[in-house]
Amino acid sequence: MKKLFSTILALGLLVCNSSFAGSLRVVDGDTIVLNGEKIRFTGIDTPELKQTCSQNDQEINCGVNAKNLLIKKIGNNIPKCISEGKDRYKRTLAECFVNNESLSKFLVRSGYAFAYRKYSTKFIEDEEFAKTNKLGMWAMTFQYPWDFRKAS
């Protein structure tokens, strides 16, 4: 059964790679566009681009920082994404990887994304790591992205 699952996963990645290979644009911390297809990372939420945080009485563009961290992590690579369906905005929901590392896990563990507990429990441990170690936004005063959107 394990071998069958590995084979199915590998085939899924191959199919996904062939349909997503090519152009890439990072929209924000949790959304990319591959070959014209908008992909929203599942299980996480990052600050909005216009969202700021504060640290030592300084305003920090935490939304822009999350986007720039993702850009840097991707580098010249084309992410490999595993689709999990579509959302109400018709974006593809997926977990994406670069060099076999989950971009979602990386962002949460770095403190620039939150485990989106409303939809998934997958990244809670990574969020606790970032929070305990005061990484990224956990070293700042911030508003959760979902609260920021409600207030905007």
What's the pLDDT score for residue 15? 39
Stretch 88-103: mean pLDDT, rounded?
96
Entry pTM: 0.84
Q: Nearest 5°: CA angle at 34, between 71 and 135?
A: 30
Q: Name the 3-class secondary structure at 118.
A: coil
The topology under which CATH files domain 2-151 is: OB fold (Dihydrolipoamide Acetyltransferase, E2P) (2.40.50)
Say yes or no to pLDDT of 133 above 60: yes
What's the pLDDT score for residue 119? 87
What distance lies between CA 96 and its chain's CA centroid? 8
Location of structure tokens 């595993």: 82
What's the pLDDT score for residue 70? 98
Dihedral pair phi/psi, residue 114, rounded to 5°: -120, 145
Stretch 101-121: mean pLDDT, rounded?
96
More confident residue, 144 or 20: 144
- Domain boundaries, given as residue ranges, for the chain: 2-151
Report the mean per-residue pLDDT for the chain: 88
Rounded (10°) CA dihedral 121, 31, 150, 107: 50
Closest by Cα among 93, 135, 85 to 114: 135
What's the pLDDT score for residue 152? 87
* pLDDT tier for residue 86 given thresholds of 50, 70 and 90: very high
> Which residues neighbour 137 within 8 Å (Cβ) at sequence distance 6 or greater?
47, 53, 62, 111, 112
